[in-house]
Amino acid sequence: MTDFPFRIVGFDLDGTLLDTGGDLGMALNHVLTGLGRPAIALGEVPGLIGGGARMLLERGLARTGGALPEADLAPLHAELIAYYSANIARHTRPYPGAEAMLDALAARGVTLAVVTNKLEHLAVEVLEAVGLAGRFATIIGGDTLGPGRSKPAPDLLLEMARRLGDGPAAYVGDTTYDTRAAAAAGLPCVAVSFGFNDEPVASLGADAVIDHFDGLVPTLEALAVVAAG
Ligand SMILES: O=C(O)COP(=O)(O)O
Ligand SMILES: [Mg+2]
């Protein structure tokens, strides 16, 4: 154990640890084109991500001709999830420096967690596919606690603390879902500028921003100094 100021660091998944935009976009376009709708340019998909796959579907429908009745959404959501699960890591990769950063935190005795709005089983599958699942003491998904408890509610982050025990914790994310959840849970939050930011990164309300994972360890050390006054 070292004197690193945080004992637990939680990570968002889509747009934070992993660039999942291409594979999520392919799954969304599979559903849209099946409905006779146009595909969405993959470069535009990151702007539609946040809040889970069901919200991705709703935003995709709105973008390509309009919403569908509520009753039509469940089978389309299931189709999107099935396609995504079967094609989960064709394009998905960790962002540069992610693995070295996880090594650096682990070497400092930090316990690592994933806290995502993705369905838990998809989070496990994609982390296994890119070889990172074993790094995390726990993986908590948008459905882990049941409906209505995903980010921006604090529940998933409070569950992380419940599972991993006492000690200072911090969270790393890319959207307002993450910064709002962290604030509600009372955790400091670092935002990554390279993710699927739903607001300009300076407006996300994070305590600090990093442009590369090389900056995470020193940024967390500096945050703790500020918090200590
Ligand atoms: O799946 C989403 O919409 C967002 O997932 P995340 O919480 O890992 O960013
Ligand atoms: Mg994210």
Kindly report the CATH number assigned to the domain that includes residue 28.
1.10.150
> Ligand 2 centroid to 211 CA: how many Å?
15
How do residues 101-138 score in pLDDT, each as one tens digit?
999 999 999 999 999 999 999 999 999 999 999 999 99
Residue 2, domain member (yes or no): no
Which one from 3, 12, 19, 211 is the annotated catalytic residue? Answer: 12
Mean pLDDT of the chain: 96
Of 39, 67, 86, which residue constitutes the final position of a domain?
A: 86
Query: By C-alpha distance, which of 175, 11, 30 is closest to 90?
Result: 30
Closest ligand 1 atom to Cα of 177? 7
| Per-residue pLDDT, 228 | 67
Backbone angles phi, psi at 170, to 5 degrees: -135, 160
Are 203 and 111 within one domain? yes
Determine if residue 12 is labeled as part of a ligand binding site. yes
| Per-residue pLDDT, 2 | 61
Are 115 and 208 within one domain? yes
| Beta pairing partners, 192 | 210
Residue 156 in tokens? 């998933």
| Beta pairing partners, 77 | none
| Per-residue pLDDT, 175 | 97
| Beta pairing partners, 94 | 18
Place of tokens 């309300």: 205
Backbone angles phi, psi at 171, to 5 degrees: -130, 150
CA angle 202, 135, 131 (to 5 degrees): 95
Three-state DSSP class for residue 112: strand
Residue 80 in tokens? 């999107």
Q: Which domain holds residue 168?
A: 8-20+93-227
Are 75 and 97 within one domain? no
Determine if residue 14 is labeled as part of a ligand binding site. yes
Tell whether ligand 1 has an atom less than 6 A from the beta carbon of residue 61: no
Check whether the bond before 152 is cis (ω within 30° of 0).
yes
Are 116 and 133 within one domain? yes
| Per-residue pLDDT, 3 | 87
Are 78 and 98 within one domain? no
Tell whether ligand 1 has an atom less than 6 A from the beta carbon of residue 118: yes
Burial degree of 36 (CB within 10 A; 0-12, 13-18, 19+): exposed
Total tally of structural domains belonging to the chain: 2
pTM: 0.96
| Per-residue pLDDT, 225 | 74
Residue 55: nearest ligand to its CA?
1
Contact at 8 Å (CB) between 10 and 115? yes
| Per-residue pLDDT, 166 | 86
Are 176 and 219 within one domain? yes
Are 220 and 139 within one domain? yes
d(CA 116, CA 95): 16
Are 142 and 102 within one domain? yes
Residues of the chain with pLDDT under 70: 1-2, 227-229
Closest ligand 1 atom to Cα of 117? 7
**23 belongs to the catalytic site:** no
Tell whether ligand 1 has an atom less than 6 A from the beta carbon of residue 23: no
Are 82 and 110 within one domain? no
Are 177 and 149 within one domain? yes
Residues whose CB falls within 8 Å of the CB of residue 225, separated by 6 or more in sequence, listed in order = none
Are 81 and 112 within one domain? no
